[in-house]
Amino acid sequence: MASYIHVPDEAPAVPKIDVTVDENDYRPGALKLMKELRPSWRPFEIKMKFFTDGITNKLLGCYVGATMQDVVLVRIYGNKTELLIDRENEVKGFRVLHAHCCAPRLYCTFNNGLCYEFLQGTALEPEHIRSQPVFRLIARQLAKYHAIHAHNGWLPQSDLWLKMGKYFTLIPKSFKDPEQNARLSREVPSARSLREELLWLQQSLSVLGSPVVLCHNDLLCKNIIYNEKEGNVKFIDYEYTGYNYQAYDIGNHFNEFAGLNEVDYSHYPGRDFQLQWLHSYLEAYKEHKGQGSAVTDGEVESLYVQVNQFALASHFFWGLWALIQARFSTIDFDFLGYAVLRFNQYFKMKPEAAALKLPE
């Protein structure tokens, strides 16, 4: 068994450029990268635009001319994010997905980031991912990801429990800021309580029979690019891409219906919507796996149960993640408040989700 991603031999190599980009004074470093990647661009003509949606890294678009046609995206890794993200695995995932026409081209890596192709289209908002025809396009695109074979003959296994175990060891026991410290002890469950829940999750979810597939693992709205003209969606940001339970990836996406900046879990999709979404997903998944496209009610119901229980694991994962970010990140975002939101929703959802039973 293996949890690593195997890159096909024919995938183009990705150069490593020995440049460090200062997140506070980014232009000199970005210009050095453009000298290698776009030697015909004259430095004084290069324009740079910051994209502000991310809460893990800083993202910069470099281009020349009045229109953003050929844009090189420069992603500068966030402080200490190597504790959370396997950067080597991210590059492997990027290359595999590009080989299957599921990702833009990766131009290079550099000392504290990577450069890649800009995808034309619109980054979605929570109201878009619920709408027709977009939700079916998302379901079918995710099915395409999940059908990719990138494990070189090994039986893939998820590293979800290993990763959450590692995150658990990194969560802060206290903060220097007294106010944050008070919030941590008042609003975040104790380490003992979190350890008990992590054990319950692993024991309860790993026996549900959800297949282990190549997952995106971070399918929030802004990571979905909709090209209305071409009638398709593409996913971006592969930092968490890896082998995981199929139902986790879908449950995690459903949790993201609540949004990020103004989180509202009343937007978590109801049963009727989920059944439509899951039916579209299973049709495409079976087509990609060469299993026809006929989908039974029992298959949809089983996936429904798995997805809603794995949605709990998603809340728990991002709750742990946000606690670590609250300690290390330099990005202006209330990570501690976000951790509280995720853990609160976990405990709110748990009784109903845990009561669901797989069909006989």
Q: What is the C-alpha separation between 306 and 330, in angstroms, rounded?
A: 36
Q: What is the pLDDT at residue 234?
A: 96
**Strands ordered across the beta sheet of 224-227:** 122-123, 224-227, 232-235
Q: What is the CATH number of the domain that holds 297?
A: 3.90.1200.10
Q: What is the C-alpha separation between 299 and 303, in angstroms, rounded?
A: 6
Q: What is the pLDDT along the chain (360 residues), one digit of tens a residue?
A: 456 788 888 888 899 999 999 988 999 999 999 999 999 999 999 999 988 666 678 899 999 998 888 999 999 998 888 888 999 999 999 999 999 999 999 999 999 999 999 998 999 999 999 998 999 999 999 999 999 987 777 889 999 999 999 999 999 999 999 999 999 999 999 999 999 999 999 999 999 999 999 999 999 999 999 999 999 999 999 999 999 999 999 999 999 999 988 899 999 999 999 999 999 999 999 999 999 889 999 999 999 999 999 999 999 999 999 999 999 998 889 999 999 999 999 999 999 999 999 998
Q: What is the C-alpha separation between 102 and 106, in angstroms, rounded?
A: 12
Q: What is the C-alpha separation between 102 and 166, in angstroms, rounded?
A: 29
Q: What is the pLDDT at residue 185?
A: 94
Q: Of 117, 142, 173, which residue sits at a domain end? A: 117
Residue 7, domain member (yes or no): no
Q: Is residue 169 located within the same domain as residue 231?
A: yes
Residue 282, domain member (yes or no): yes
Q: What is the C-alpha separation between 289 and 100, in angstroms, rounded?
A: 14
Residue 13, domain member (yes or no): no
Residue the block writes with tokens 């979605």:
124
- Phi then psi for residue 42, to 5 deg, are -85, 130
Q: What is the pLDDT at residue 1?
A: 43
Task: Report whether 143 contacts 285 (CB < 8 A).
Answer: yes
Structural domain count of the chain = 2
Q: Is residue 169 located within the same domain as residue 96?
A: no
Q: Is residue 217 located within the same domain as residue 238?
A: yes
Q: What is the pLDDT at residue 151?
A: 75
Q: Is residue 102 located within the same domain as residue 146?
A: no
Integer CA distances (angstroms), 11 to 88, 91, 117, 124, in order? 15, 12, 16, 29
Q: What is the C-alpha separation between 319 and 338, in angstroms, rounded?
A: 7
Q: What is the pLDDT at residue 80?
A: 87
Q: Is residue 127 located within the same domain as residue 65?
A: no
Q: Is residue 91 located within the same domain as residue 28?
A: yes
Residue the block writes with tokens 């229109």:
67
Q: Of 84, 100, 117, which residue sits at a domain end? A: 117
Residue 101, domain member (yes or no): yes
Q: What is the pLDDT at residue 2?
A: 54
The neighbouring-strand residues paired with 234 are 225
User: CB-based contacts of 223: which residues, under 8 Å, 6+ apart?
Assistant: 123, 216, 235, 236, 237
Q: Is residue 216 located within the same domain as residue 237?
A: yes
Residue 4, domain member (yes or no): no
Q: What is the pLDDT at residue 206?
A: 97
Neighbouring CB atoms inside 10 A of 267's CB total 17
Q: Is residue 73 located within the same domain as residue 156?
A: no
Q: What is the CATH number of the domain that holds 86?
A: 3.30.200.20
Residue 10, domain member (yes or no): no
Q: Of 74, 97, 117, which residue sits at a domain end? A: 117
The neighbouring-strand residues paired with 213 are 244
DSSP sequence for 136-187: HHHHHHHHHHHT---STTS-B---HHHHHHHHHHHS-S--SSHHHHHHHHHH
- What predicted TM-score, i.e. pTM, was given to this entire model? 0.95
Angle between helical axes of 246-255 and 297-328 (0-180°, round to 10): 70
Residue 9, domain member (yes or no): no
pLDDT digits (tens, 9 = 90+) for 167-214: 999 999 999 999 999 999 999 999 999 999 999 999 999 999 999 999
State the amino acid at position 280 in one-letter form: S
Q: What is the C-alpha separation between 147 and 286, in angstroms, rounded?
A: 9
Q: Is residue 216 located within the same domain as residue 242?
A: yes
pLDDT digits (tens, 9 = 90+) for 328-340: 998 889 999 999 9
Q: What is the C-alpha separation between 322 and 167, in angstroms, rounded?
A: 10
Q: Is residue 166 located within the same domain as residue 235?
A: yes
Residue 108, domain member (yes or no): yes
- Structural domain range at position 41: 19-117
Q: Is residue 177 located within the same domain as residue 312?
A: yes
- Phi then psi for residue 358, to 5 deg, are -65, 145
Q: Is residue 131 located within the same domain as residue 106?
A: no
Q: What is the C-alpha separation between 213 and 87, in angstroms, rounded?
A: 20
